[in-house]
Amino acid sequence: MQELVRKLLEELGEDPGREGLLNTPKRVEKALRFLTSGYEADIDAVLNNALFTVDYSEMVIVKDIDFYSLCEHHLLPFFGRCHVAYIPTNKVIGLSKIPRLVEVFSRRLQVQERLTSQIADTIQEKISPLGVAVVVEASHLCMSMRGVQKQNSLAVTSAMIGAFRDNARTRMEFLELIKVRGAGPSPRDWAAATEACAEEA
């Protein structure tokens, strides 16, 4: 990988032998290995048997989970917050494991839509709850740094399964509970970005 980075620097018109770039290939490889470490993660190992039998059937929410990922179209970052909810039947997931689950899927080359679905589908698969809801809000540097250069665009995606899809009151309760604190936008104000980076090859 380091040799590929040196070649890339040359193709960009740089001198990979100059002082400031001498260790850049090593740094880039280390950074990319970290940012894509989700490929090597084992979901069951991440959850680490943190699935517990409980007598609880109300909504469980973990919100404002920060995440960072790389857009698979341009290898530029997108980042934001993820909100996860589910209604258990007889099992719950240890609360600390939900942010870890988000981290596993975000540390891959991604599109926001797939990231959202992967989180929801995994929770559904592991504990078979009555419903799962995931909302992801993110800023994409492939939109703000290049292309349409829309600095304040916010892309919002959601995945609703089971009770969250079928029951409007349950869905609205979730959306009300994840309203962003402070000056941030509420779910009613969210608007998905109209241009996707994929449209600008």
The question of whether 74 is a catalytic residue gets the answer yes
* Catalytic, out of 2, 14, 29, 72: 72
Which one of 14, 73, 124, 195 is the catalytic residue? 73
Distance of alpha carbon 30 from alpha carbon 113, whole angstroms: 27
2 is catalytic: no
Judge whether 142 counts as a catalytic residue: yes
> How far, in Å, are 95, 164, 176, 192 from residue 185 at the CA level?
25, 21, 12, 12
> CA of 61: how far to CAs of 15, 48, 52, 128, 200, in Å?
50, 20, 16, 16, 36
Can 72 be counted among the known catalytic residues? yes
Helices (H), the chain: 2-11, 24-35, 43-47, 97-106, 112-127, 141-144, 163-166, 168-177
Angle between helices 2-11 and 24-35 (to 10 degrees): 120
| Catalytic residue, candidates 83, 103, 142, 197 | 142
To the query of whether residue 73 is one of the catalytic residues in this protein, the response is yes
Considering 110, 112, 118, 197, which one is annotated as catalytic? Answer: 112
CA dihedral 67, 125, 91, 134 (to 10 degrees): 40
83, 103, 118, 140: the catalytic one is 140
Query: Which active-site residues does the annotation give?
Result: 71-74, 112, 140, 142
